[in-house]
Amino acid sequence: MPEPLLRIDNITKTFPGVKALSGVSMHVMPGEVLGVIGENGAGKSTLMKILAGVQDQDSGKLVWKGQEVRFGNPSEAISAGISLIHQELNLADNLTVAENIFLGREPTRWGVIQSRVMRQKATELLRRVGLDVPANLSLQKLSIAQRQMVEIAKSLSTAANMIIMDEPTSSLSVHESEKLFALIRQLRSEGVAVVYISHRLAEVADLSDRVEVLRDGKNAATLAREQIDHDTMVRAMVGRDLNRYFPHVPKEAGATRLQLKAARLFGRAEYAIDLDAKAGEIVGIAGLVGSGRTEVLEGIMGMRPVLGGQVLIDGKPIAMGDIRASIAAGLALVPEDRRHTGLVTALSVCDNLTLAALERVSRWGVLSRRAERQAGQEQIESLRIKTPSLQQVAAYLSGGNQQKIVFGKWIMRTPKVLLLDEPTRGVDIGAKQEIYALMEKLAAGGAAIVFVSSEMEEILGMADRTYVMHEGQIKGQLPRAQMTEQNIMQLAFGRPDHSPASVA
């Protein structure tokens, strides 16, 4: 076996409350596409950040081109030849394409930037990645896919031997993704190693020469080219059968609790959105990132204005665009971005739990500390929130426990309709299962649950029924019997739908 380009040896990394990586090992060969997969929280991003010098491992070593290395910061990794393309691109909107590519490494003479040389070099790189735009175009005129190409050109400009791509296709169209794949294959043929991280198993299966599976911060499996197929990957990622993993038991749904009638999203006003959920029902909303799923949930909740439309709770219309009215009517939303919109991370666990239901623990505006503690303690116990104390600052809890706090905050109001936006994002496997169990319990208690998820397994495992969105439109809905990955992806990619059960 030839010498690997990179060997990762027994890497361990611990964060407050979570052991992100424990003894992970793998290697990357030159000119290889290595797929790295794993559930959220499996440790992929942490591992990549260590490779790119963003974070430092607690123990274990990296051997790069035969020599042990330790990158103190990203620029050390870049000069060694490793570049990381983040999920959120790190480009400056106000600069030109060429300026972005050479940002911080501008060719200069006597301290003056040689714009012409820079443009020429940039044009060459753009040709190499197959992006047909002038080098002096302002970056803000480019689409997301084009910006990604600029990022790749930037990596190439640093003579990278290895490019790490973290969820590169999450905001790309099918056509744009195809272009990216072609480029990855071309890079491979040029001898550049590509580490490809994605949740989209089909892409991983297509591209990868080898797949490394991470689970709970450990190596779960290494799949050679001929072993790579969807089921094997899922089994390795989840580590058990999906049926056991998802506790969902379909039940008889009750009366309609939530109805959204003829709402239209800003910017996509041509489509009317109708949606409903019944008591005891768990309804999924599938679709690609950016298809308008979050906007629908936030529109129902009144967090963002929608054009027209009506929300009815138990048949009674509520005021649109008024969060307080929505909450009073029995709506609750666990947002996607819990650190910014779900939690007040500087407040204590207890203060966060009671925040939306202070009228229960106060009289005439005066808080009763005893009632607060009691209510907080109840939630901590019933949700099994792992915290040293009620007074612990929420920021120091793990993602899963933070998410449980956000759930607890709303459970304290016994909501009629619970809207969940990516409820298990960034949550470890154990907490994930507890959240699924919680969804089951709440539905069994008569709440209607609507959840948005980008994880196919979650939709397939938890939903009684799912809506599929595509570019601001509900493309169709599938009952549990017809929910397959293929049916959902077809609708999500906006292909015309001929299934008789769906209602567009």
Partner 1 sequence: MQIKSLGVVLLLIAIMLVTGWLNPSFLSDENVKSIIRWTSLFGFISLGMALVIMTGGIDLSIGSVIALAGVCMLLLLNQQHVDMEQSATVAALSKVQVRNQQLAQITLEKATWPVSVDDQLRFTNAFGQPVLGSVVRVETVDGQLKLTLREPNASFPVGSVVSWFQFRHRPIIVVIPIVLVGAALLGLLHGLLITKVGLQPFVVTLCGLLAYRGLARVLANEQAMGLGSTLVTIKEWINGVAGSVPIPFLPWVSVGRWHSVVWDSQSDSPSLDASGGTQSLPWVSWIEIPNTAVLLAIVAGVLWFAVNRSVFGRYLMALGNNAQAAKFSGISTDRIIMSTYVLCSVLAGLTGILLVFDFNSVEPSQTGSIYEMYAVAAAVIGGCSLRGGSGSIVGVVVGTAVTRSLFLSIAALSIPKSWEYIIIALALLAAVLTDELIRIIGNRRRLMSQARLAKTSG
Q: How far is the CB of 365 from partner 1 (least distance, A)?
A: 5
Stretch that binds partner 1, among 122-130, 145-153, 363-371, 436-444 (CB under 8 A): 363-371
Nearer to partner 1, 55 or 502 (CB): 55
Residue 249 binds to partner 1 (criterion: CB under 8 A): no
Contacts of partner 1 in 408-447 (CB under 8 A): 409
Contacts of partner 1 in 69-108 (CB under 8 A): none
Nearer to partner 1, 116 or 340 (CB): 340
Q: How far is the CB of 456 from partner 1 (least distance, A)?
A: 28
Stretch that binds partner 1, among 14-22, 187-195, 284-292, 449-457 (CB under 8 A): 14-22
Looking at residue 189, the DSSP 8-state letter turns out to be: H
Q: Which residue has the tokens 């449980």?
A: 404
Contacts of partner 1 in 19-58 (CB under 8 A): 19, 22
Distance CA 72, CA 53 (A): 6
Q: How many residues bind partner 1 (CB under 8 A)?
A: 35
Contact pick of 3, 15, 141, 251 for partner 1 (by CB under 8 A): 15
Per-residue x/- track, 158-187, partner 1 (CB under 8 A): ------------------------------
Residue 18 binds to partner 1 (criterion: CB under 8 A): yes
Nearer to partner 1, 295 or 440 (CB): 295
CA distances in angstroms from 470 to 261, 333, 387, 467, 482, listed in the order given: 18, 22, 40, 10, 18
Angle, helix 429-444 to helix 399-411, in steps of 10 degrees: 10
Stretch that binds partner 1, among 16-24, 86-94, 434-442, 465-473 (CB under 8 A): 16-24
**Helices assigned H by DSSP within 292-368:** 293-301, 323-329, 349-354
Distance CA 275, CA 272 (A): 10
Stretch that binds partner 1, among 13-21, 36-44, 169-177, 450-458 (CB under 8 A): 13-21
159-183 core/surface letters (b: 16 or more CB in 10 A; e: else): ebbbbbbbbbbbbbbeebbebbbeb
Distance CA 256, CA 407 (A): 22
Give residues with Cβ within 8 angstroms of 111, minimum separation 6.
none
Contacts of partner 1 in 372-401 (CB under 8 A): 396
Which strand ranges, in their side-by-side order, compose the sheet holding 316-318? 268-278, 256-265, 310-313, 316-318
Nearer to partner 1, 18 or 420 (CB): 18
Residue 16 binds to partner 1 (criterion: CB under 8 A): yes
Distance CA 98, CA 101 (A): 5
Q: Which residue has the tokens 């735009």?
A: 133
What phi and psi values does residue 459 have, to the nearest 5 degrees? -60, -50
Per-residue x/- track, 323-362, partner 1 (CB under 8 A): xx--xx----x-x----xxxxxxxx---x---xx-xx--x
Q: How far is the CB of 12 from partner 1 (least distance, A)?
A: 9
What number of other Cβ atoms are within 10 A of residue 56's Cβ?
Answer: 12
Contact pick of 72, 104, 111, 365 for partner 1 (by CB under 8 A): 365
Pairing verdict, β 112-113 and 108-109: antiparallel
Give residues with Cβ within 8 angstroms of 247, minimum separation 6.
433, 436, 437, 440
Identity of the residue numbered 262: A
Residue 367 binds to partner 1 (criterion: CB under 8 A): yes
Contact 392, 5 (CB under 8 A): no
Contact 470, 460 (CB under 8 A): no
Residue 450 binds to partner 1 (criterion: CB under 8 A): no
Copy the structure tokens of residue 31: 């000119």
Nearer to partner 1, 405 or 492 (CB): 405
Nearer to partner 1, 75 or 368 (CB): 368
Nearer to partner 1, 244 or 324 (CB): 324
What number of other Cβ atoms are within 10 A of residue 357's Cβ?
Answer: 17
Q: How far is the CB of 305 from partner 1 (least distance, A)?
A: 14
Nearer to partner 1, 218 or 480 (CB): 218
Pairing verdict, β 218-224 and 210-215: antiparallel
In 124-242, the DSSP E strands lie at 162-166, 193-197, 210-215, 218-224
Q: How far is the CB of 437 from partner 1 (least distance, A)?
A: 22
Distance CA 239, CA 41 (A): 14
Nearer to partner 1, 152 or 313 (CB): 313
Distance CA 20, CA 180 (A): 30
Looking at residue 136, the DSSP 8-state letter turns out to be: T
Contacts of partner 1 in 280-319 (CB under 8 A): 301, 303
Nearer to partner 1, 119 or 409 (CB): 409
Copy the structure tokens of residue 220: 């779960």
Nearer to partner 1, 68 or 322 (CB): 322
Nearer to partner 1, 396 or 493 (CB): 396
Per-residue x/- track, 122-161, partner 1 (CB under 8 A): ----------------------------------------
Which spans of this chain sit near partner 1 (rule: CB under 8 A)? 14-19, 22, 301, 303, 323-324, 327-328, 333, 335, 340-347, 351, 355-356, 358-359, 362, 365-367, 369, 396, 409
